Amino acid sequence: MDPSEYDLPFFHRGGFHRRTCVVCGHAFWTLGDHDRCQEAPCREYGFVGRPIFARPYSLGEMRETYLGFFERRGHTRVRRYPTVARWRNDVFFTQASIYDFQPWVTSGATPPPANPLTISQPVLRFIDLEEVGRSGRHFTLFEMLAHHAFNRPDHEVYFKDRTTELCHELLVSELGADPALITYKEEVWEGGGNLGPSLSVSALGLEVATLVFMEYLRDGDRLKPMPLTVVDTGYGLERLVWASQGTKSAYEAVFGAEYDELRRTFPARETAILIDHARALNFLLTDGVVPSNSKEGYFARLLLRRAQRILAKTPEAPSLRAILDRAAREIARDFPEVGADRDDLHAVVQAEIERYDEAIGRARQTIRRFEERARSVGQRVTSEQLLEWYDSLGVPPEVAVEELSEPPAIPEDFYARVAARHENERPTTDYAEKTEGWPEVPAGIPPTEVQYYLDPYTVAFDAHVVWSEGPFVVLDRTFFYPTGGGQVTDRGHLAELEVVEVARQGPHLLHRLERTAPFHPGDRVRGRVDPVRRTQLMQHHTATHLMNGALREILGPHVWQAGAFKSPESARIDVTHYRPLSKEELRRVDRRVNEVVREDRPVKSYFESRAEAERRFGFRLYQGGAVPGRDLRIVEVEGFDVEACGGTHCTHTSEVGAVAILGVERIQDGVVRLTYASGERALEVREEHEEILREASRRLGVPVAQLPEGIDRLLGEIEEARKLRRDRLKEDLGGTATRLLSDPSAVSTFGAVTVIAARLDLERAELMELSRLLSKEPGRVVVLAGEREGRGTLFVGSTAPGVSAAAVVDAAKDRFQGKGGGNPAAAPAVGEPGAPLTAALEAARSHARASAGG
């Protein structure tokens, strides 16, 4: 990066000089006379016992000081976004404040909620999990304080100079840091195809902020200026608090009395882990993450189980629930939504603890059995086995060892070795672009006026073509709904041409026609949206909001939408929930939804400022994830459900008609999917179902109401018949056995051994059964030949100690090209029928007699 990028007027005005760090070699700006940058490890921590700021701040004080400082300097305060980044498919969690605005705001597709803005965003960093409690400064969840500005060519807010000036003013004038202690180190930031210069701000060894200036697009080796440049700052709230107090670790400074209370029972590291995890869990659970075995749910499980493990080994430990509640009380001072419904949160946690106990209980049993078996063959359990058990059963090694009478040593680097086992797994990331293969709309084309927002009932309109390429058309305005928000595209016509799909691309809506569009910019065209399809989609979309509302009402506020899909045929919603839905719960959801339909509540769709909407409805608005933009489009089912949503909706619940639940399944641990139909489709589906029932009833000859009993009876009869057939076969074979035993040509006795040989018209399984009947007593050798469907089978069974059935078959099988073998007790072989089979039978008989001593 060109050094001029960092050569800010602010540095010159303020009398900074540029130096090069003698340790890391980076250039940095300072007012002091350091020969090294102030960032660890170039400079050791120097603020413990010597606070950087003028006075100690608590977490809440520091946050308020920061946000207030930027508010007074023209920034709008924006509330936090969810910690689960449901609006992105490349990450699970919000890992930085800028994530809130990616990709739509940073790409310029939609305006930011405010500009410039300031925010305190709780973010999750699981990469630091092992460092929590060890390093003294790492958290799985911390608050990233930030001020952001988004600059368009026609509207520059501020950029590098002002950003750095604001940062310095905050640290020095507001917080009272010694200006000579601060260094601004030159770095390059790159991510997501963007890059730009950045400044790392440190004092006394502590990095307190990073100022990133997203300025360029990477195009191979070349850099292209971005149309929208972004100020992306990040200040660690916990670090600022720590720096202001100068305590030994960040945890004491951040958690205060809560830390001291737990510290009486637990060692320092465990105390930090417990509080940190409790804080992260409170946010995660509030934001609708249900512990599970995959995706974001796994991280909640990981935290919960780690905490539970610490508690389990301390007899006088409080319950996890108590620790979570204590943490939630602190958090709720600033984030009242966190853990607001304690009962629901307890239910989720309780379910998870029970599952953990069950898993560990099962695992203990498996481990005991494994060792028993190992010992019976003179082997011991290896430490490699401990790894295996942790990986596949979830048993921590110290628990496994408790179950073993001769435990192996737990490897020092146990968790590193677990990680090594997973080293070669390649995660596949899904970056599938919906509009792949679609042309890019050139810059300068005016954005499409989206009018389906205004009136979902308008299905015919006139508009002007503003751009066209091949089958793709952009209009000045449109009533066509594009694929998005889990709702499939509208179809219809532009002039006489069919519209196959509509998709959003930044500020434009592209209509894809059945063939090349004969339009030119400026042409006036008539648009007609397929009204039947549109109506059905509206009904399904509104039905989805009703489902969401009913599920939350009946199952509890941990229910969040984890995905949704609406097509003209059916709709589905995936929600977070910790166990399968019971029949009763499902029935109540069905009833409630249809009740709301009948109540004919108004469904209002309108735009409202983000701040006002959040104030009125809270965080729950973001069911589908964060929605960008200064104003939110609110879809409100009066008194029942409110969501920020861009879809087309009915204006009264009665228009949904009826909702028929078609199915419920657990698509993933912690996520339940409901499929349903509404409107015409609900009727059609019900008709189809009724027709199936009638047809089943006709075929079974049983009234519909008695179908279940009828089926049971039928199944019973089938079972009965099967048994009867089996019994009869056994009986028949029993008769054959009796006959054979009294047939002198079949039976010959040699001392204690009786050889029975015969040729029968039976198949393999029958020969086997017959042999079993004949050889119930010891000292019997049975040699049977059977012929069926052109194949000959030889079966030998033996209960005579000196005669091996396998040996007898081996001696005879060549005679009929037979293949087979077995064990001393039983041996079949299959080969040619007819004379060769007879020859084999004779050979087997003689061999059996010979081995019997005949």
* Distance between CA atoms of residues 44 and 46, nearest Å: 6
For 694, counting Cβ atoms within 10 Å of its Cβ (0-12 exposed, 13-18 middle, 19+ buried), the class is: exposed
* Distance between CA atoms of residues 575 and 662, nearest Å: 16
* Distance between CA atoms of residues 538 and 216, nearest Å: 41
H/E run at residue 151: strand 141-151
Q: What is the DSSP letter of 173?
A: I
Q: Which of 50, 421, 689, 713 binds RNA (CB under 7 A)?
A: 421
Maximal C-alpha separation, the chain: 122
689 touches RNA by CB under 7 A: no
356 touches RNA by CB under 7 A: yes
* Distance between CA atoms of residues 188 and 29, nearest Å: 15
| Residue 142 DSSP SS3 | strand
What is the residue whose two structure tokens read 């300072």?
Answer: 30
Q: Which of 79, 134, 263, 295 binds RNA (CB under 7 A)?
A: 295
Q: Which of 155, 222, 422, 699 binds RNA (CB under 7 A)?
A: 422
**DSSP-assigned beta bridge partners for residue 286:** none
Stretch that binds RNA, among 94-102, 202-210, 697-705, 769-777 (CB under 7 A): 769-777
Q: Which of 22, 23, 416, 419 binds RNA (CB under 7 A)?
A: 419
H/E run at residue 460: strand 460-469
* Distance between CA atoms of residues 818 and 832, nearest Å: 7
33 touches RNA by CB under 7 A: no
* Distance between CA atoms of residues 633 and 631, nearest Å: 7
One-letter identity of residue 464: H
Min CB(827)–RNA separation in Å: 6
CB-wise, 681 or 813, nearer to RNA? 813
428 touches RNA by CB under 7 A: yes
One-letter identity of residue 729: L
Min CB(344)–RNA separation in Å: 20
Question: If you count DSSP H runs as helices and E runs as strands, how many of each does the chain have, helices first?
Answer: 20, 30
Min CB(777)–RNA separation in Å: 11
Contact criterion met (CB below 8 Å) for 561 and 573? yes
Min CB(143)–RNA separation in Å: 22
One-letter identity of residue 714: L
763 touches RNA by CB under 7 A: no
Neighbouring CB atoms inside 10 A of 373's CB total 10
CB-wise, 294 or 738, nearer to RNA? 294
CB-wise, 177 or 756, nearer to RNA? 756
* Distance between CA atoms of residues 337 and 399, nearest Å: 37
Closest CA to 798 of 813, 777, 814: 777
Annotate 380-413 with b (16+ C-beta within 10 A) or e (fewer).
ebebebbbebbeebbbbbebbbebbeebbeeeee
* Distance between CA atoms of residues 841 and 812, nearest Å: 7
332 touches RNA by CB under 7 A: no
671 touches RNA by CB under 7 A: no
Stretch that binds RNA, among 405-413, 484-492, 569-577, 796-804 (CB under 7 A): 796-804
Q: Which of 27, 340, 359, 445 binds RNA (CB under 7 A)?
A: 359
Q: SS3 sequence, 367-418? A: HHHHHHHHHHCCCCCCHHHHHHHHHHHCCCHHHHHHHCCCCCCCCCCHHHHH
H/E run at residue 351: helix 342-376
Min CB(484)–RNA separation in Å: 20
393 touches RNA by CB under 7 A: yes
Min CB(810)–RNA separation in Å: 10
Contact criterion met (CB below 8 Å) for 311 and 320? yes
Neighbouring CB atoms inside 10 A of 666's CB total 13
CB-wise, 243 or 784, nearer to RNA? 784
394 touches RNA by CB under 7 A: yes
Closest CA to 297 of 289, 285, 287: 289
Stretch that binds RNA, among 34-42, 493-501, 642-650, 794-802 (CB under 7 A): 794-802
17 touches RNA by CB under 7 A: no
Closest CA to 233 of 164, 292, 185: 164
* Residues numbered 120-159 forming contacts with RNA, rule: CB under 7 A: 126
Radius of gyration (Cα) for the chain, nearest Å? Answer: 37
Q: Which of 820, 840, 843, 849 binds RNA (CB under 7 A)?
A: 820
415 touches RNA by CB under 7 A: yes
823 touches RNA by CB under 7 A: yes
* Distance between CA atoms of residues 456 and 460, nearest Å: 11
Min CB(226)–RNA separation in Å: 27
730 touches RNA by CB under 7 A: no
Closest CA to 324 of 314, 456, 341: 341
* Residues numbered 245-274 forming contacts with RNA, rule: CB under 7 A: none
Min CB(345)–RNA separation in Å: 20
Min CB(583)–RNA separation in Å: 16
CB-wise, 307 or 509, nearer to RNA? 307
CB-wise, 92 or 242, nearer to RNA? 92
673 touches RNA by CB under 7 A: no
Q: SS3 sequence, 798-819? A: ECCCCCCHHHHHHHHHHHHCCE
Q: Which two tokens stand for residue 545?
A: 């909001």
319 touches RNA by CB under 7 A: no
Min CB(560)–RNA separation in Å: 17
426 touches RNA by CB under 7 A: yes
Stretch that binds RNA, among 7-15, 114-122, 662-670, 708-716 (CB under 7 A): 662-670
Q: Which of 830, 837, 843, 844 binds RNA (CB under 7 A)?
A: 830
List all residues 6 or more positions away from 663 whose beta carbon is below 8 Å from its beta carbon.
674, 675
CB-wise, 570 or 678, nearer to RNA? 570
CA-CA distances (angstroms) from residue 729 to 144, 280, 726, 735, 786?
A: 78, 67, 5, 10, 16
Min CB(316)–RNA separation in Å: 25
Stretch that binds RNA, among 199-207, 383-391, 544-552, 695-703 (CB under 7 A): 383-391
390 touches RNA by CB under 7 A: yes
Stretch that binds RNA, among 5-13, 237-245, 269-277, 795-803 (CB under 7 A): 795-803
Min CB(543)–RNA separation in Å: 24
Angle at 9 between CA 7 and CA 10, to 5 degrees: 105
666 touches RNA by CB under 7 A: yes
CB-wise, 230 or 826, nearer to RNA? 826
775 touches RNA by CB under 7 A: yes
Q: Which of 182, 581, 829, 840 binds RNA (CB under 7 A)?
A: 829
Query: How many residues lie near RNA (CB under 7 A)?
Result: 57
301 touches RNA by CB under 7 A: yes
**DSSP-assigned beta bridge partners for residue 94:** none
Q: Which of 723, 725, 728, 739 binds RNA (CB under 7 A)?
A: 723
* Phi (first) and psi of residue 163, to 5 degrees: -60, -50
Q: Which of 25, 153, 427, 442 binds RNA (CB under 7 A)?
A: 427
CB-wise, 142 or 356, nearer to RNA? 356
Q: Which two tokens stand for residue 827?
A: 């041996």
* Residues numbered 216-245 forming contacts with RNA, rule: CB under 7 A: none
822 touches RNA by CB under 7 A: yes
Binding site residues, RNA, CB under 7 A: 126, 293-295, 298-299, 301-302, 305, 355-356, 359, 362, 365-366, 369, 373, 388, 390-394, 415, 418-419, 421-422, 425-428, 665-666, 668-669, 719, 723, 768, 771-772, 775, 782, 797-799, 819-823, 825-830
